[in-house]
Structure 1
Amino acid sequence: MASFSTSKCPRRSIVQLDIIVVGAGLSGLAAAISIAKSGHNVTVHEAASELAEVGAGLQLTPNCTKILQRYGLSDEFWASGSEPTSLTVHRYTGSILAHDEDFLQNMRKRYNAPFLDMHRCDLQQALHAQAKALGVDFRFESKVTKLEFEDARPMVLTEQKSCSVADLVVAADGLWSRCRSQFLGRIDPPKPTGDLAYRVVLDIEQIQDPELRRWVSEPTCHFWIGPGAHAVGYSLRGGKMYNIVLLVPDNLPSGISRQPGSIEEMKALFKGWDPILTRFLDLVNNVDKWKLMHRDEMTSWINDQFNLVFIGDACHPMLPYLAQGANSAIEDGAVLGLLLGRIKSKNHVPHALKIYEKLRKARGESIARETFKQREAFHMIDGSEQEARDAIFLSQLGKEPQSPFPSRWTCPQVQPWLYGYDAYEEVENSIKDDPFPPLSNNHQDDR
């Protein structure tokens, strides 16, 4: 799949700010690219020594891929994805509850962008390469331990005893954000959701079963929904790998967020499920368990001095049930950079951050809440509520779904809200409604 070009280029600011991004995860990399494209100097501090070649699958939905299309990522990146032709929801036993045979065409036709299943490290490496090409300065093994943001130019101190100042700090340091604790003035650990995830990636060379090999080589997306748990499976890397995520009740000890999982325990949880799924699970050699965490909503994503702003999991972590964590984080980074491209003075930064918060906070937090609703619909125990849910599914099988629909992936109310979002249009329209104030003569020298 070739990359996409557009005439809608971001504006470049007539002033050049020094901006520090804390964290080289997906939100930090997306922000670094967008901010650099907007004309500013960007330095990224990352605690790890390098971007490791590890991870599992991601589902990149059109609200995200339409941003990535404008980021100038390599053709190799686009070729590394898999575009599912159809999307199917199964009852856990295997029977079909919902099926969109034309999912690929529907995504492109409705949203003018693809739905891609992608290996996380392929996306991270592509974003990193593009950020470096734009002149972003990466400082690895640079763990930020303290922020001092009382002065106009905040100071960032690291565990390695380095000290940096900037005009703005972007807190993109994820679920376990130290920036968040600094901002709140207290330790603020994430909270367990009651669920955990088993994440499995299988190479097609591990699979001899002809039927399973077709599932991998001919990309489609499948959900299995059952009592207290659900699973999702999809192809990666052009049909060369298969990604399975199993979402089950959390039994990890308190304080443990990840540990190696027992294959036998995992398989026992899905005994009696669809034989296709269990045959895939029979091929697993090792698996990790990840505790799924969330956070309380923050009062604000920007500080009073307008020199610290939060993006991604640092301010709105999401359950994976709508696959919007990475997509929403990339939206955050894009919007922030686009707004910073419109400033004509340092004095415009507060206005830009206020618009960013207005555009992103309500949406990010609403999606986070919606993921809990999808969990409820997908994890119903067998009984009257589950039978009523399945009756809705089956009454619309082979038809265009009507809202409210139990699977938000194809719900005609929720899907357009998620996938139809255009960060570029949102910024453009918001500035028309709330333009930057004119510069006074006293502020000309701030440019």
Structure 2
Amino acid sequence: MGIFNSIISRSSDKRTMPPHESHLDILVVGAGLSGLATAISCAMSGHTVVVLEQAKELAEVGAGLQITPNASRLFSHWKLPEKLWKDAAEPTSLTVHRYTGEILAHEASFDQNIRAKYSAPFIDLHRVDLQQALYARAQELGVTFHLDERVDSIDFDTTTVTTLKGKPLSGDLIVGADGLWSRCRECFYGKKDDPIPTGDLAYRIVLTADQISDPELRAWVENPTVHFWIGPGAHAVGYSLRGGKMLNIVLLVPDDLPPGVSRQAGSVEEMMRLFVGWDPILTKFLTYVNGVDKWRLMHHSEMQSWINDKSNLVFIGDACHPMLPYLAQGANSSLEDGAVLGSLLSHLKRKSDLPHILRLYEKMRKSRGEAIVRETFKQRNDFHMPDGPEQQKRDQVFLSQLGKDLKGAFPSRWTCPEVQPWLYGYDAIKEVEKVVGQNPELLFGKSARL
């Protein structure tokens, strides 16, 4: 169909293509993490994939990402470049501090404990390193990219996307992976659909170890750990990147940006004033900051469906379940989405089964994605409590289990024995195998993987 007829796979891999009646031409809108994950997963399933991205280049921008086992386990499955693991930092401990510095929770041997429980690591990465690894793998698999192309309209009768430059691209399925400000979502609804402020904003900071002259602070960077500071109406998180050569700090504070502004240059002095009286370790790190941006944290209300009536548009990632960064699951759940959709499509027997496959994807992913969104708001509540009786009760729960094996609900979901297994124990590939086993009519033999 359309542009896809002229595409010859550039992949050097020998992979089995599904039978012609089940082969799809897939158009992925967006080359963020969710779009790249989808492109890789669908290409590994033997389908032809074209990615449309509004940026002129996949530039080296961004900050840190915390990749939890539910996503890191996918990297080996996708055969991402070995360099990615060398670019990672694996934290050896996780600590929650009261904003003044007092330790409320501490898990030593965090790296070993996570690997033992989930057979996959918890790693901290620079977003650029992950994006470039995904991009390289997608290209290796023969995925075609069209950069500097923004969606103008979608004709659902012909499954055709037309860009602002007037370029039409047609296929069998459109994947809306274009994030919080999704144009695909607006085409789906037939109206403007701006995201809603959450009431919080983020200062995102990246420092290099070479910038930091204080030997105590430099040791924090070079020996990867994760630290949270939780205080009235705000919290901070810091962790190492690139094997201890960089430090990522995120400050989550009340939103004071003007209406209609989602990002703005911030004032270092204003930022510093917000953290007067906080742990001297944190505030010393902030003295090394030369400039900073303020990012409004936004979300959307839940969508009734992630699939259109014609079953030729499906949503993924922030386009359908944007979430606060308070559990670091925005990127991780987007990677899960891509893995599930692509793996399900490896079991497509005939194109007429596509609606069924998409409904299975929605059934598998929608309830989980939206439950994580709700959990992030609960985490904000527990990390942003004003000083007072509720905060004192929270701290007592923390301190009563300090140095012990955690039991029951816990104010930090990062180590909570009820929430952590649900988040980190998820295995997208196994979940697909389980669902396909329950829907045997989809099977046409072994899935076409590399």
Band of TM-score, shorter chain = over 0.9
Contact 1:13 1:340 in 2 (8 A): no
**Residue 402 (structure 1) shift:** 1.4
Tell me the residue number matched to 1:237: 242
Structure-1 separation of matches of 2:340 and 2:231: 37
Q: Deviations over 1:236-293 (max 9, x none)?
A: 0000000000000000001100011000000000011000000000000011100000
1:34 aligns with 2:47: no
**Residue 438 (structure 1) shift:** 8.1
Tell me the residue number matched to 2:7: none
What amino acid is aligned across from residue 352 of structure 1 in structure 2? I
Q: Give TM-score scaled by structure 2 length.
A: 0.94
Q: Give TM-score scaled by structure 1 length.
A: 0.94
What is the DSSP-based 3-state SS (H/G/I as helix, E as strand, rest coil) of the residue aligned with 1:230? strand
**Residue 437 (structure 1) shift:** 5.2
Structure 1 unaligned segments of length 5 or more: list them: 1-9, 440-447
Tell me the residue number matched to 2:206: 201
Tell me the residue number matched to 2:432: 427
Contact 1:204 1:213 in 2 (8 A): yes
What amino acid is aligned across from residue 339 of structure 2 in structure 1? A
Among 256, 261, 270, the alignment partner of 1:251 is 256
Q: Deviations over 1:157-204 (max 9, x none)?
A: 001110011000000000000100110111111000000000000011
Tell me the residue number matched to 2:421: 416
Deviates more, 1:342-351 or 1:228-237: 342-351
Structure-1 separation of matches of 2:214 and 2:147: 43
1:138 aligns with 2:148: no
Structure-1 separation of matches of 2:265 and 2:58: 21
Tell me the residue number matched to 1:4: none
What amino acid is aligned across from residue 377 of structure 2 in structure 1? F
Structure-1 separation of matches of 2:155 and 2:439: 31
1:312 aligns with 2:295: no
Q: 1:11 to 1:63 in 2, by over 3 A?
A: farther
**Residue 435 (structure 1) shift:** 2.8
Among 323, 330, 338, the alignment partner of 2:328 is 323
Tell me the residue number matched to 2:94: 87
1:64 aligns with 2:74: no
1:185 aligns with 2:190: yes
Tell me the residue number matched to 1:222: 227
Structure-1 separation of matches of 2:121 and 2:377: 26
What amino acid is aligned across from residue 428 of structure 2 in structure 1? A
Structure-2 separation of matches of 1:98 and 1:11: 50
Tell me the residue number matched to 2:345: 340
Structure-2 separation of matches of 1:11 and 1:120: 32
Tell me the residue number matched to 1:117: 124
What is the DSSP-based 3-state SS (H/G/I as helix, E as strand, rest coil) of the residue aligned with 1:195? strand
Tell me the residue number matched to 1:288: 293
**Residue 53 (structure 1) shift:** 0.4
Q: 1:387 to 1:11 in 2, by over 3 A?
A: farther
Among 374, 392, 397, the alignment partner of 2:397 is 392
Q: 1:274 to 1:157 in 2, by over 3 A?
A: same
Structure-2 separation of matches of 1:49 and 1:351: 36
What amino acid is aligned across from residue 147 of structure 1 in structure 2? I
**Residue 433 (structure 1) shift:** 1.4
Contact 1:144 1:159 in 2 (8 A): yes
Contact 1:348 1:436 in 2 (8 A): no
- Count of residues in Structure 1 that have an aligned counterpart in Structure 2: 429
1:74 aligns with 2:55: no
Q: Deviations over 1:287-345 (max 9, x none)?
A: 11000000000000001111000000000000000000000000000100001110111
Tell me the residue number matched to 2:106: 99
Alignment of 1:431-442 (within 5 A): 431-436=436-441
**Residue 348 (structure 1) shift:** 1.4
Structure-1 separation of matches of 2:443 and 2:333: 32
Tell me the residue number matched to 1:157: 162
Contact 2:92 2:109 in 1 (8 A): yes
Structure 2 unaligned segments of length 5 or more: list them: 1-14, 445-450
Contact 1:343 1:436 in 2 (8 A): no
Structure-2 separation of matches of 1:319 and 1:94: 24
Contact 1:11 1:341 in 2 (8 A): no
Structure-1 separation of matches of 2:170 and 2:40: 20
1:368 aligns with 2:373: yes
**Residue 436 (structure 1) shift:** 3.2
Tell me the residue number matched to 1:300: 305
What amino acid is aligned across from residue 270 of structure 2 in structure 1? E
Q: 1:49 to 1:181 in 2, by over 3 A?
A: same
**Residue 12 (structure 1) shift:** 5.8
What is the DSSP-based 3-state SS (H/G/I as helix, E as strand, rest coil) of the residue aligned with 1:164? strand
What is the DSSP-based 3-state SS (H/G/I as helix, E as strand, rest coil) of the residue aligned with 1:219? coil
Tell me the residue number matched to 2:9: none
Structure-2 separation of matches of 1:180 and 1:186: 9
Structure-1 separation of matches of 2:442 and 2:169: 30
Structure-2 separation of matches of 1:150 and 1:75: 43
Structure-2 separation of matches of 1:355 and 1:284: 47
Structure-1 separation of matches of 2:280 and 2:162: 53
Among 263, 266, 277, the alignment partner of 1:261 is 266
Contact 2:311 2:358 in 1 (8 A): yes
What is the DSSP-based 3-state SS (H/G/I as helix, E as strand, rest coil) of the residue aligned with 1:69? helix
